[in-house]
Amino acid sequence: MAVDAQRPTARAATTSRPRPKREREEEVLVWPDLVFIEFIAAVLFTITFLILSVMINAPLLNRANPDVTPNPSKAPWYFLNLQELLLHMDKAWAGVLLPTIALGFFASIPYIDRSRGGQGVWFGTKYSVRLAVVAAVYTVFVLGLLVAFDAGEDSRFEYATRWVPSCDNAAEHAGLPCLKDQEGAAHTGFITMKDISKRLQFSIPFPKIFGTSAGDIEEGSGDEVLTKDGWLDWPEDVDKIPVPFNNFSCCYGSLHLWEGMNLNLASIMAEQVLPLLTIAFFTILILYALFRIGWLRTKRDVFIVMFTAVVTIYFALSLVGSFFRGEAQALIWPWEVKVDEG
């Protein structure tokens, strides 16, 4: 009893959980008012899906065959957005880290926006409707640009960067920036961001650093550190930067995760830093612009913009994946989509 009597005070001391007061005259009975609506909704949905199921059959293709890969192979639509991201950035970010961050972002919303105002009504703040609309339109627009930009051989962007010269494969150091082409193939500009680590080459004079002398280290062993010949060649000299203590093996052997780990700075730049900076840039840009106009006033407003953007990205990229990706994930128009089922 004593415990019970103390509970309210202990509770109030920590936080008071707000609850709207119950005014009986404003309430209706669940039976019949709510139960009736639920019943009608359930019946309507049952009928709709019965009709739909009579009219459209679920797909059943040929028996699974591990030797025959359909081109393109696509994930279910609700994961196609991740598959789309995979085309543009490092797979760990696209497939695991960004989705995890997005879910963490969702879960954290109520713990960051703790205001109580505006709950229980649609679009509770002054500008929230236009914030949501602007955020959705802006996101679609930016995504469209980025997808077209990182699009592959036929894109405008590739065309616009053809002036970057083709690399001379015989030269020891590339010198000015150039793009490596396949032997005998026609010269192309930047096809994707990934070309920054795969095809772009340049070299700058650079002092020998980390005191590595060529003699100590086996050529091609992966142990060379940065520059040994007075030139820093992109990407060869930066694609195997050893992590500190990566050969640290003492008593406990290889306990740490970075045992033997080298960083590929070139691909980190192309597939992690640049894509993430792009995302950060466009996010900050819209938030800053809306803040300057004066539409963005509270944390709730910031979340309205960001939540709308994340949900829009989710659905828009799924649409791109469903209707605009053809063989080998090339960017195409919806009426050109055909699947080679093998």
38 to 67, contacts with another protein by CB under 8 A?
A: 38, 41-42, 45-46, 49-50, 52-54, 56-66
Scanning 17-25, 150-158, 214-222, 242-250 for contacts with another protein by CB under 8 A, the matching segment is: 17-25
Does the protein bind another protein through residue 13 (CB under 8 A)? no
Toward another protein, which CB reaches closer, 104 or 294?
104
Does the protein bind another protein through residue 331 (CB under 8 A)? no
Q: Facing residues of 166 across strands?
A: 179
Burial 97-114 (b: 16+ CB within 10 A, else e): ebbeeeeeeeeeeeeeee
Q: Which of residues 64-83 bind another protein (CB under 8 A)?
A: 64-66, 68-70, 73-79, 82-83
Q: Facing residues of 201 across strands?
A: 178
Span between the terminal Cα atoms of the chain, in Å:
74
Residue 313 to residue 101: CA distance in whole angstroms: 14
Q: Facing residues of 331 across strands?
A: 325
β-bridge pairing 231-234 and 241-242: unpaired
Does the protein bind another protein through residue 294 (CB under 8 A)? no
Does the protein bind another protein through residue 207 (CB under 8 A)? no
Encoding tokens for residue 255? 């306990």
Respond yes or no on whether the N-terminal peptide bond of residue 235 is cis (omega within 30° of 0). yes
Residue 35 to residue 200: CA distance in whole angstroms: 65
Toward another protein, which CB reaches closer, 166 or 264?
264
Binding residue count for another protein, defined by CB under 8 A: 86
Toward another protein, which CB reaches closer, 2 or 52?
52
Q: How far is the CB of 233 from another protein (least distance, A)?
A: 28
Toward another protein, which CB reaches closer, 119 or 247?
119
Does the protein bind another protein through residue 334 (CB under 8 A)? no
> Residue from 121, 170, 186, 251 that binds another protein (CB under 8 A)?
121
Q: How far is the CB of 29 from another protein (least distance, A)?
A: 5
Q: Strand, helix or coil at 195?
A: helix
CA 87 from centre of chain: 10
